[in-house]
Amino acid sequence: MEQYDVIVIGGGPAGYVCAIRASQLGMKVALVEKRNTLGGTCLNVGCIPSKALLDSSEQYHFAKEKLKEHGVEVGSVQLNFTTMMKRKEKVVSEVVKGVDFLMKKNKIKRYLGLATLQSNNKVAVQGENEKAEISASKIVIATGSIPAELPFLPFDGKKVISSTEALSLKKVPKKLAIVGAGVIGLELGSVYARLGSEVHIIELLPNLLPTCDGKIASYAKRLLESQGLKFYMEHKVKGLEKSSLLVETPKGDTININADVILVATGRKPFTENLGLEKIGIQLDEKGRIPVNEKYETNVSGVYAIGDVIKGPMLAHKAMEEGIAVAEMMAGKYGHVNYKAIPYIVYTWPEIAWVGMGEEEAKKQGYDIKIGKAFFKANGRAKAMGETDGQVKVIADKKTDDLLGLFILGPRASDMIAEAAIAMEFSASAEDIARSIHAHPTLSEVVLEAALDAEKRAIHA
Residue 460 lies in a domain: no
Give phi and psi for 288, each to the nearest 5: 80, 15
Q: How far apart are CA 405 and CA 216, in angstroms?
A: 12
Q: How far apart are CA 454 and CA 435, in angstroms?
A: 12
What SS3 class is residue 23? helix
Residue 459 lies in a domain: no
DSSP 343-379: -EEE-SSSEEEEEE--HHHHHHTT--EEEEEEEGGG-
- Whether residue 350 is preceded by a cis peptide bond, meaning omega within 30 degrees of 0, is yes
Q: Do 9 and 132 lie in a common domain?
A: yes
Tens digit of each residue's pLDDT (9 = 90 or more) over 370-386: 999 999 999 999 999 99
What's the one-letter identity of residue 156? D
Number of domains in the chain: 3
CA distances from 254 to 68, 187, 257, 266 (A): 44, 27, 10, 20
Reported as a pLDDT band with limits 50, 70 and 90, residue 7 is very high
State residue 129's pLDDT score: 87
Averaged pLDDT, 270-279:
97
Name the pairing type of β-strands 122-126 and 230-233: unpaired
State residue 114's pLDDT score: 97
Reported as a pLDDT band with limits 50, 70 and 90, residue 445 is very high
State residue 243's pLDDT score: 80
State residue 138's pLDDT score: 98
Strand-pairing partners, residue 258, are 244
With b meaning 16 or more CB within 10 Å and e meaning fewer, what string describes 172-199?
bbeebbbbbbbbbbbbbbbbbbbbebbb
Check whether 420 has a pLDDT greater than 90: yes
Task: List the domain range (segments joined by +) for residue 308.
Answer: 2-147+269-337
Tens digit of each residue's pLDDT (9 = 90 or more) over 166-194: 999 999 999 999 999 999 999 999 999 99
Question: Domain boundary residue among 320, 337, 354?
Answer: 337
Q: What is the CATH number of the domain that holds 292?
A: 3.50.50.60
Q: Do 328 and 399 lie in a common domain?
A: no
Residue 224 lies in a domain: yes
Tens digit of each residue's pLDDT (9 = 90 or more) over 350-374: 999 999 999 999 999 999 999 999 9
Q: Do 109 and 183 lie in a common domain?
A: no
List the catalytic residues.
440
Q: Do 255 and 387 lie in a common domain?
A: no
What SS3 class is residue 120? coil
Q: Do 329 and 249 lie in a common domain?
A: no
Q: How far apart are CA 91 and CA 84, in angstroms?
A: 11
Q: Do 323 and 370 lie in a common domain?
A: no
Q: Do 17 and 110 lie in a common domain?
A: yes
Tens digit of each residue's pLDDT (9 = 90 or more) over 197-238: 999 999 999 999 999 999 999 999 999 999 999 999 999 999
Check whether 315 has a pLDDT greater than 80: yes
- Alpha-helix runs per DSSP H in 46-159: 47-65, 81-105
Q: Do 324 and 365 lie in a common domain?
A: no
Q: How far apart are CA 84 and CA 169, in angstroms?
A: 11
Report the first-to-last Cα separation within the chain, whole angstroms. 67
